[in-house]
Structure 1
Amino acid sequence: MNIAIRLVSEIKHFWKLFAAGMILMLVSGFMIQGAPLIVQGVIDNLLTPVSKGAILDTGRLMNQLGLFVGLTVVGNAISYGSVRLLMHVANKVGETLRNRAYDTMQALPISYFDDKPAGKISARIVNDTETLRSQFYGTMLSNVIINLLWVVIIYVVLLSLNLWLGVALLLLIPIFIFWQKAYGKQTEAAMTDFYEAQSELNSQVNEAMNGASIIQLFGQEESMTEQFDVTAQRMLTSDLKMTKVEATMSWTLVELFKRLVLALILTTVGYYVIGGRLGITAGLIFSYVNYVERLFNALGMLVRLLPNMQRSLATGKRVYELLDQALEADSEEVLTVSAGNVVFENVSFAYKDDNWVLKNISIDAKKGQTIALVGHTGSGKSSIMNLLFRFYDPQQGRILIDGQDISNYNRESVRADMGIVLQDPYLFTGTIASNVAMDDADMPEAVIKEALEKVGASPMLERLDQGIYEPVVEKGNAFSSGERQLIAFARTLASDPKILILDEATSHIDTETEVVIQKAMDVVKEGRTTFIIAHRLSTIQTADQILVLHEGEIVERGNHQELLALGGRYADMHRLQQRVSV
């Protein structure tokens, strides 16, 4: 119930539109549901006397019929307007929830994504919020409220026409409540399984797209297809079960029950009329039949719609699980970077409990220096960079930029003067120019071209028909690894950061391309404090300081020549790579 209250409370942001829609709905409800009473009057006061020899008052008949048509048309037009308003509210609430979910995802700590499949997170933001928009808000605002309102109005009319008939028909309410609960119980498990399977399909499709080359190289197409088919079959089975229950328990049984009740009313009325014990007009019989049929239609619609709303509460729960995630505590203080000096003071860090991945790390990087981090996989190189970016904060020690403890400053400001080039650079859909400029829409074309030329991307631009405006799609897969790296270097150069991080920037390219990339690295590094994570030692021989990490500790430090002379881990790594290259 708490989820339902929270979902309903989201409407408060658009209460004026909601109130206008409800007023229009109320007006249209009275007009549409009151129109049959005019027909009753026409039958009893105009047509019945004619059957007994009276002269038909044509003018009055046309006035009454005109009033009936007018009420019906205007009532439906107002109802259309109310539905449009209420659906607009539903769309706005859905949009607000989706934007909040996306903003929350953006603000979550990196640790949240460590064990979360991307497909399931995207399903919360896209699929689940859309389900809430269409099934909860759309259904509730445009259908459930309307039908509830009509049920109330119809009962008021029936009670005013015939107290005992109205009271008798009130017995339908507990019957339909029981009916609705039975319907919901029959479909609850199937609906839950349907959405779980849908979420899994999102993850599988995402995985298949990102790993398409590996799947094909290892001949896993059939295996992946089988997994997809199994999950898709779960969706189909659940959907078929829901369809079967819906076809049986909603309209089919409702129609049967409605006909039985109408037959019972007509039989009772006919029995008493023939026996002379009940005086009832033809118009009144028309009203009874008309309103009872409308009552059943409204109650039947509620039986069909309410379970969908109840099931959407499970969807709401998943969305609020994301929205309620604890966000990173962040300061409003803005870090100002002038020189770009970076210091790690006795930093120790663990992702979980006391399982330390970094132990007593101390680094002193001055402006313009290049610091290289080397070591086997799992030695702690990437963890050091994660701390520098404030993706995580250390449990012990502190990190200073220009003498300022970064834990005291806003994360966005900490990263504002940092640039990074990854081993597999990510290019966004757009153009080469938009990927270089990133969020700077006002960056001049000349600056973009200059950055690309400086990193050695001129040959690439010359072969492209549209130059810097060449389209980039699918993460830049139309470009080679080296070309993507050059675009990434140009992006970093154009943003002019004080601190630069190069993460395995040459690991995915051939030796010939490495020469081009090395030149680009030298251009981008100039005047900046640079951290290089590298496996290829040939790329860091000119580094001012090389830190050798092993099991989270710095076990050696010095420049290339000093570490070779030391004859330790670095020297062993160098000899091994020299042997392999030969």
Structure 2
Amino acid sequence: MNFPDEESLDKPKDIRLLKRFFPFIMKRKLMVTVSVALVMAISALDLAMPYVTRIAVDRYIVPGLDFSSQRDGIQGEGSPPALAVEIKTKEMETVILSHPGLFERQGNTATLSSEHLDRLTREEMRIMRAHDLRGTALVGLVLLAIAGLRFLFSFVQIMVMEYTGQWVMHDLRLSIYRHIQRLPVSFFDKNTVGRLSTRVTNDVQNMQELFTSIITFVMKDSFMLLGILGVLVYMDLKLAAAILSVIPFVFLAAILFSRKSRKVFRVLRIKVAQINSMFSEAIGGMKVIQLFTMEKKTLDDFRKINRENYDAGLQQIRIYGLFMPVIDMLGSFTLAIVIFYGGGRVVSELVSLGILVAFISYIKMFFRPIRDIAEKHNILQNALASGERIVQILDKKLHGEGGSKELERLDTLSFDHVTMAYKKGKNILNNLSFDLKSGSSLAIVGPTGSGKTTLINLIVQFYKPKGGRILINGDEIDRYSVRSIRSKIALVTQDPYLFTGTIRKNILPPEKDVSKEELNSILKLSNCQSIIDKMPEGLSTRISGGGASLSSGERQLISIARAFAHQPDLIIFDEATSYVDTESEEKIRIAVSNLKENRTSITIAHRLRSAVTSDQIIVIKDGRVIEKGSHITLMKNRQFYYGLHQANGLKKGKIADTM
């Protein structure tokens, strides 16, 4: 099973791809802005916690090593460390006065060199440390306040972003569905239901992670990394420089991981689409599979695709499994640098213990965003792989909307030397011409593959002709809007499709409200009343699975009722009695006769008896009109049409059932 479209993507362009989804985000820009602001606030709170811990260690837990005065220029490099205390109590004032010249006072602060600490008594040291206990308690309260604010901001941010993500997914899924509805029929000839279902369901769901997690959390992690680097440089430039030497290796690992993982995720998206497509086709054709005992062949095909998906998944796991230990190893190496180099500077009394403790905390925080970015990158690659598939659908050229002119009534239809080919060089129709006037009936007869159905597809604008002109009311069909043309045409096919829902919704157009009398008239003329009477809930009876619970004849009569409700000027029958029993066929013939009355009609006649009563019959062979006229005229000519009747055993007054 080949899926050429799945393999034909260009090289990834992440920024350009993300720009395609910005309009969906900008619809909720207020909510996104609030979420980003909260993320930045959360990051700031995270950055504050190690710094507050550093203050607690240096000022209150180990106050003998406070180098704030050196930074302020009070002491020079190499001066002994100093103990700085605030004078808040009478006991503290008494200690300072009892040692004149030992303390250096500056307002409410007194500084004591660490080399003079041994001149204080145990009680005096207790008094000086009393304010440290109060300071430690204060720092603890600050940390609790930070944790409380972080909890509040995180809760609000998650709720806002998830709410926004759901709305973005809602808008994106609606946009894809709307776009698919407007694509030409030729697109659906090449794309399976499973593939398109994957786009609207799985791929859109994968994109949700992009909007709910990636955008804000990547910004948060990026802000955290920059903030941590800034704080480290501020606290100690030399120690920060030692740590920064490891950063290039971290980014090199991230770049290699990105390139490898993108390829794997693209393969995974292909395999998921193939699995969905095959499964959808297998379920739809299960009767044929079981009838022709094709279970083993189908299972082998599914096993092959499933194995390829498994192998791609394992490859993705191997890449991810290698990257995370590399990041952990680099993190441990950086921590070792901090302990070795930073510890030496503490022993040498060049930095405080609080700074070393803060550095260790910041290093752990530094590699946590890198791990998060790696995990989010994993999700991002999955989302971008899905995004590529979604954009591939959205970039498909839409079916033309036609001209600006609205068709009020379809009076005449003409084909003027029309040529049509689905593939270049293989014409299905060749210079086909005919005229159809209002109120008249036309039957199209010909062997299988002669182009009868193609002719109908051109009338309803499913395809455009490659040559010649199609005229409506004397004007070229392209001057009219496609919507207005189709509003004047109803098509009754051989195997009509019914939608899941009530019978009423399958008959009446959603925008049309008819009276009870009109509805009864539609049911009577279409011979549907007997069907409705048998239903447990009448018109409100729900059907599902394309009307699988109904017989072919019942589905056909309901489709004829739908055509009645449409009130078309032109009705097209693609041999409405091909697949029904004799009793149903008679009901359908009566309904079709009622529907044709006072309307222009075209009948694709697979059974010759359907063509006999038509005003005009055209016989097509190899895409060309080889005969044209009424039934009587064509029988008198004794050419191809006459030969069809003779070949099917037509006697005088008897018409063959099949061709």
Q: Same fold (TM over 0.5)?
A: yes
Counterpart for residue 211 of structure 2: 137
Amino acid at match of 1:459: S
Q: Which moved more, 1:339-348 or 1:287-296?
A: 339-348
Structure 1 match to 2:8: none
The TM-score, its normalising length taken from structure 2, stands at 0.82
1:438: which partner in 2?
A: 509
Q: 1:369 aligns with which of 437, 440, 458?
A: 440
Specify which of 136, 142, 153 is matched with residue 67 of structure 1: 142
Bigger shift: 213-222 or 184-193? 184-193
Q: Distance in 1 between matches of 2:36 and 2:290?
A: 56
Residue identity matched to 1:469: S
From 278, 301, 306, give the equivalent of 2:372.
301
**Aligned-partner residue type, residue 575 of structure 2:** E
Q: 1:576 to 1:440 in 2, by over 3 A?
A: farther
Contact 1:98 1:129 in 2 (8 A): yes
* Matched positions, count: 578
Q: Which residue of 2 aligns with 1:154?
A: 228
Tell me the equivalent position of 1:181: 255
The aligned counterpart of 1:128 is 203
Residue 490 of structure 2 is aligned to residue 415 of structure 1: no
Deviations 1:158-215 (A, max 9, x none): 1111112222322333212211123234434432221111111111122112222212
- 1:298-343, CA deviations, whole angstroms, 9 ceiling, x for partnerless residues? 1122233225424543433332232222334434513323253222
Residue aligned with 2:198, SS: helix
Q: Counterparts of 1:487-502 in structure 2 under 5 Å?
A: 487-502=558-573
User: Which residue of 1 is the match for residue 76 of structure 2?
Assistant: none
Q: Which residue of 2 aligns with 1:28?
A: 42
Using the alignment, how far apart are the partners of 2:382 and 2:272 within structure 1? Answer: 15
CA distance in 2, matches of 1:344, 1:185: 56
Which residue of 623, 647, 651 corresponds with 1:552? 623
Conserved 8 A contact 1:90-1:141: no
SS at match of 2:573: strand
> 3-state SS of the aligned residue for 1:350?
strand
Deviations along 1:521-558, one digit per CA (max 9) or x if unpaired, are 11111111111112111223211111111011111122
Distance of 1:189 and 1:34 partners within structure 2: 39
| Letter paired with 1:21 | S
Q: Report which stretch shifted further, 167-176 or 288-297.
A: 167-176
- 1:211 corresponds in structure 2 to 285
Matched, 1:191 2:254: no
> Which residue number corresponds to residue 96 of structure 2?
none
Counting only pairs closer than 5 Å after superposition, residues 568-579 of structure 1 correspond to structure 2 as: 568-578=639-649
Determine the C-alpha separation between the residues in 2 that align with 1:198 and 1:363: 48
Q: CA deviation at 1:29?
A: 1.3
Letter in 2 for 1:148: S
1:175-324 superposed matches below 5 A: 175-250=249-324, 252-274=325-347, 277-310=348-381, 312-324=383-395
1:353-364 equivalence runs, <5 A: 353-364=424-435
Q: Secondary structure at the match of 1:373?
A: strand
Residues 435-462 of structure 1: per-residue CA shift (max 9 Å, x gap)? 0013236344554443223211222222
| 8 A contact 2:39–2:216 mirrored in 1 | no
CA gap of 1:79–1:441, structure 2 versus 1, over 3 A, is farther
What does residue 98 of structure 2 align with?
none
RMSD: 2.5
**Aligned positions of 1:496-511 closer than 5 A:** 496-511=567-582
Which structure features the higher share of helix residues?
1
Q: 1:175 to 1:3 in 2, by over 3 A?
A: closer
Identify the range of structure 1 (12-21 vs 228-237) with the bigger mean alpha-carbon deviation. Answer: 12-21
1:46 aligned to 2:117? no
Q: Does the CA-based 8 Å contact 1:337-1:401 persist in structure 2?
A: no
Q: Any gaps of 5 or more consecutive residues in structure 1?
A: none
Alpha-carbon distance, 1:62 to partner: 3.5
Check the 8 A contact 1:11/1:93 in 2, yes or no. no
Give the direction of change, closer, same or farther, for the CA distance of 1:398–1:332 in structure 2 (3 Å limit).
closer
Q: For 1:209 and 1:340, locate their aligned partners in 2 and report how far apart those are by CA, in whole Å.
A: 44
Cross-structure match for 2:15: 4
Q: In structure 1, the residue corresponding to 2:648 is in which secondary structure?
A: helix
2-structure distance, mates of 1:153, 1:260? 21
In 2, Cα distance between equivalents of 1:445 and 1:434? 15
Instruction: Tell me the TM-score normalised to structure 1 length.
Output: 0.92
Partners of 1:214 and 1:280 in 2: how far apart? 80
Task: Provide the residue aligned with 1:163 in structure 2.
Answer: 237
After TM superposition, the structure 1 stretch with the greater mean CA deviation from structure 2, 212-221 or 541-550, is 212-221
CA distance in 2, matches of 1:492, 1:102: 25
CA contact (8 A) 1:345 1:362 kept: yes
CA distance in 1, matches of 2:260, 2:402: 50
* One-letter amino acid of the structure 2 residue matched with residue 67 of structure 1: V
Shifted more, 502-511 versus 98-107: the winner is 98-107
1:28 partner letter: I
Deviations along 1:108-163, one digit per CA (max 9) or x if unpaired, are 222333333333233334333332332x3334214222211111111111111111
Change in Cα spacing, 1:119 to 1:272, as seen in structure 2 (3 Å) is same
Is the 1:180–1:306 contact (alpha carbons within 8 Å) kept by the matching residues of 2?
no
Residues 226/448 of structure 1: CA separation in 2 closer, same or farther (3 Å cut)? farther
Q: For structure 2, list consecutive stretches of 5 or more residues without a partner in the other structure.
A: 1-11, 65-121, 651-655
SS of 1:398's equivalent in the other structure is strand
Aligned to 1:521, the other structure's residue is in SS state helix
One-letter amino acid of the structure 2 residue matched with residue 267 of structure 1: F
Matches of 2:367 and 2:212, distance apart in 1: 22
Q: Give the Å deviation of 1:507.
A: 1.2
Q: Percent identity?
A: 27
Cα shift readout 1:48-68 (whole Å, capped 9, x = no counterpart): 359964225555443322221
- Rounded to whole Å, the distance in 1 between the matches of 2:513 and 2:241 is 72
Structure 1 residues 124 and 503: alpha-carbon distance in aligned structure 2, compared to 1, 3 A threshold:
same
Q: Which amino acid aligns with 1:194?
A: L
Deviation at 1:414, TM superposition (A): 1.1
**Is 1:85 paired with 2:160?**
yes
Whether contact under 8 Å (1:109, 1:328) holds in the other structure is: yes
